[in-house]
């Protein structure tokens, strides 16, 4: 379970954090009619649960998945009620990574009259995946393989179960990870030596090491408690002022890619309008009345 993140210059709704509904709460018994790989439920008015729902294939990412993710998050982006998205995988495994069979024709037999033209087409495919899809999401998992790391590094918050393991598997299939792992993993965890080791040897990392290196911020004993924890965290975030939550997310993403002085300049420019929200007065008043933030009703953003 984790939260969605996207670059700052993007559509409104995709900046909202996303978080996973508890599986038992889901009324879906399979993929959503609109999607063949995703199941969408609404555990609360302000929370959407997106479940990667292809367990018979260990949630391997096929071509349908890549395009449905874009459509799904575009729909969520237009939904003014949703404040948090939870993303998880159905079954025991979060994802087994890229479904090589599904991608084979594009990647292994690319079109083009010469090497330059084949390269141009391959770049187009990579950029599409990267910019349209893999900017997104959060998720939970038991075991995570290969491209899955691309997905989770694109999320805001990462949780896992005690028996989860992670693997940057691309080096085992003869390529450098192409949809974000090599860019985001070093900014997501603190140890450069570990990043290099994982990416160059494709060894598995288990939950405890994932927690101590900072890849996940919490480890739960099993999927049930993790999903309950995810839901609780989603509720915490969904209950806060959406002005505060969005401003925090926009500025954290901006800071990742800029110097501290640049980040402070941007922050001041952002807050010169955002400080004028009524939410500030409502929160101050609630604080004086010893009320919890959850008791305040904030307008939609």
215 lines the binding site for a copy of itself (CB under 8 A): yes
Residue from the set 70, 122, 165, 228 that interacts with a copy of itself by CB under 8 A: 122
Tell me whether residue 34 or residue 123 sits nearer to a copy of itself (CB atom).
Answer: 123
Assess 261 for contact with a copy of itself (CB under 8 A): yes
The site that binds a copy of itself (CB under 8 A) totals a number of residues, namely 123
CA-to-CA distance for 276 and 253, rounded, in angstroms?
22
**Contact between 233 and a copy of itself per CB under 8 A:** yes
Interaction with a copy of itself in 83-102: which residues (CB under 8 A)? Answer: 100
The CA distances from residue 244 to 83, 138, 251, 270, 301, in Å, are 12, 20, 11, 11, 10
Q: Of 202 and 228, which CB lies nearer to a copy of itself in the complex structure? A: 202
Q: Output 71 or 197, the one with its CB closest to a copy of itself.
A: 197
Q: Could you identify the residue written with the tokens 């080791």?
A: 197
Residue with tokens 């004086």: 288
182 binds a copy of itself, rule: CB under 8 A: yes
Structure-block tokens of residue 207: 């939950």
Pick 53 or 184: Cβ nearer a copy of itself? 184
**CB 38 → a copy of itself: shortest distance, Å?**
23
**7 vs 36 by CB, closer to a copy of itself:** 7
Residue 4: φ, ψ to 5° = -65, 145
Tokens of 264: 């402070």
The answer to the question of residue 74 lying near a copy of itself (CB under 8 A) is: no
Give the shortest CB-276-to-a copy of itself separation in angstroms.
Answer: 4
Which DSSP category does 222 fall into?
S
Q: CB–CB of 39/28 below 8 Å?
A: yes
Q: Which residues pair with 50 in a beta bridge?
A: 40, 87
Using CB under 8 A, which of the segments 26-34, 42-50, 223-231, 237-245 binds a copy of itself? 237-245
Dmax (CA) for the chain in angstroms is: 72
Binding mask of the shown chain, residues 39 to 58, with x at each position contacting a copy of itself by CB under 8 A: --------------------
Residues contacting 227, CB < 8 A, separation 6+: 1, 20, 21, 22, 23, 88, 140
Footprint on residues 4-33 left by a copy of itself (CB under 8 A): 5, 7-12, 17
Q: How far is the CB of 243 from a copy of itself (least distance, A)?
A: 5
Sign, CA torsion 236/238/243/245: positive
Contact status: 195 vs a copy of itself (CB under 8 A): yes
Strands 84-89 and 143-144: unpaired
32 Cβ contact partners less than 8 Å away, ≥ 6 residues apart:
38, 39, 40
Nearer to a copy of itself, 29 or 115 (CB): 115
Answer yes or no whether residue 224 interacts with a copy of itself by CB under 8 A.
no
């Amino acid at each position: 379970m984790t939260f969605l993140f996207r670059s700052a210059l993007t559509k409104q709704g995709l900046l909202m954090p996303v978080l996973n509904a508890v599986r038992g709460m889901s009324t879906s018994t399979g993929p959503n009619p609109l999607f063949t790989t995703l199941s969408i439920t609404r555990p609360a008015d302000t929370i959407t649960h997106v479940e990667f729902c292809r367990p018979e294939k260990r949630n391997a990412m096929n071509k349908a998945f890549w395009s449905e993710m874009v459509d799904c998050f575009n729909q969520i982006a237009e939904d003014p009620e949703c404040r948090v998205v939870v993303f998880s995988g159905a079954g025991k495994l979060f994802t087994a990574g890229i479904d090589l069979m599904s991608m084979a024709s594009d990647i292994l037999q690319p079109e083009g009259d010469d090497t330059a033209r084949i390269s141009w087409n391959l770049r187009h495919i990579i950029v599409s995946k990267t910019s349209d899809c893999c900017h997104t999401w959060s998720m939970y998992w038991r075991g995570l393989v290969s491209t899955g790391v691309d997905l989770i590094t694109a999320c805001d918050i990462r949780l896992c179960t005690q028996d989860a393991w992670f693997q940057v598997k691309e080096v085992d299939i003869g390529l450098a990870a192409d949809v974000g792992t090599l860019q985001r993993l070093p900014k997501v965890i603190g140890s450069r030596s570990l990043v290099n080791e994982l990416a160059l040897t494709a060894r598995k990392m288990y939950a405890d090491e994932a927690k101590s290196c900072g890849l996940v911020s919490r480890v739960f004993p099993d999927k049930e408690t993790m999903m309950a924890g995810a839901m609780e965290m989603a509720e915490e975030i969904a209950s806060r002022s959406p002005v505060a939550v969005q401003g925090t997310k926009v500025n954290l993403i901006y800071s990742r890619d800029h110097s501290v002085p640049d980040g402070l300049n941007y922050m001041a420019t952002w807050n010169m309008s955002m400080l004028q929200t009524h939410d500030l007065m409502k929160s101050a008043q609630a604080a004086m009345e010893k009320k919890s933030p959850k008791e305040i009703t904030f307008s939609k953003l």
